[in-house]
Amino acid sequence: MKKVKDFLWKPCMTVEECVDRFSSLGYQSTELNEAVKVILKMKHSNAKIFLTFTSNMVTSGLRGFFAQLCQLKIPHILVTTSGSIEEDIMKSLGEEFSFSNFYADDTQLHEKGENRVGNLVIRNESYMKFEDLIQTYLRKIYKKQKRISSSELLYEIGLMIKDENSILYQATQNKIPIYCPGIADSSFGFQLFMFQQKHPNFIVDTIQDMQRITTDLSFDEKKGLISLGGSISKHYAVFAALLSGGFDYAVYLTTSHPTSGSMSGATTQEAKSWGKIKDDGEAATVNGDVTITFPLIMCSVLDKIKKQGFI
């Protein structure tokens, strides 16, 4: 039986060394170390890797890290929510989000035209600049194509973005499809609605993406999932994999709990009851703030696979 070992600091300890020592520490640190091992197995088995995340993570400083992972060709498929798209575009324009705090005077923020996301703030001006730009993008896309899937739409937008820290830019450059099944649920969705009022024959077809994502997967290939948070982005990926035999590997990073019966809190064990993860699939779940757990996990993974020649 494995024994608990004391965690001891050493000068100039790397992230990789720190996370390696988590394996004998206990509680969520042990799960975090297990998540590293599962992701490494995804890479070693040449699995097709899904990365799913929600928009609040793009609000944070993780946005550039997601783009960097695309540049390094770590994920093969992205699934996210519509807010991620608009905020990625805002930041590609040079818009900066600010810090507030979790206990701010929200009435005062509203009067100043500032919108709070946890302890971060997005200004109304950022949305105004986004709305002006996205209408320009849509007009250009409309000239090329009247009916388009959500993933094709995001690919076309990615071609027009020049910011290397943009998720859309890097996904487009590296031929990584972005699926956004809830594309209508945001300011971006409202801008699509407004554009369609003037151009009724412009159709964004989300069902077309369901055909693409399911036919892109096969029963024979290995499949892995790195799911940050929950929501529609998580379910879209696990349902797609279900139709081709389920995931071989899965890592869930979440702050939710299974007691509510929500998708965000659903465990990897629960997923096995549906066939979303294979009976013998290898999985880890880490409970905690993704802005802490995900960089630790992925920096450790990247250090290891760089030594192994994967990047």
pLDDT at 214 over 90: no
Annotation marks residue 175 as catalytic? no
Average pLDDT (286-311) is: 96
DSSP letter, residue 47: P
- From the list 43, 91, 234, 276, the catalytic residue is 276
Token pair, residue 155, equals: 């690919």
State the Cα–Cα distance between residues 138 and 148, nearest whole angstrom: 11
Q: What's residue 292's pLDDT?
A: 98
Range in 3-7, 134-138, 254-258 the model is least confident about: 254-258
Residues 249, 224 contacting (CB under 8 angstroms): yes
Q: How confident is the model at residue 106 (pLDDT cuts 50, 70, 90)?
A: very high
Q: What phi, psi does 285 have (nearest 5°)?
A: -125, 125
In the chain, beta strands by DSSP E: 48-53, 77-80, 98-99, 114-117, 120-123, 147-149, 178-179, 203-205, 223-228, 247-254, 277-287
Q: How far is CA 300 from CA 40, 74, 253, 275, in A?
A: 10, 13, 16, 30
| 243-293 pLDDT per residue, tens | 999 999 999 999 998 888 888 888 899 999 999 999 999 999 999 999 999
pLDDT of residue 141: 98
Amino acid present at 135 = Q
Q: Are 81 and 55 in contact (CB under 8 A)?
A: yes
CA pair distance 20, 30, nearest whole angstrom:
9
**pLDDT value for 282:** 97
pLDDT band at 124 (very low <50, low <70, confident <90, very high): very high
* Cα distances (angstroms) measured from residue 109 to each of 80, 113, 119: 28, 6, 12
* Two tokens, residue 204: 């964004």
Question: Average pLDDT, whole number, for the chain?
Answer: 96
Taking the alpha carbons at both ends of the chain, their separation in whole angstroms is 35
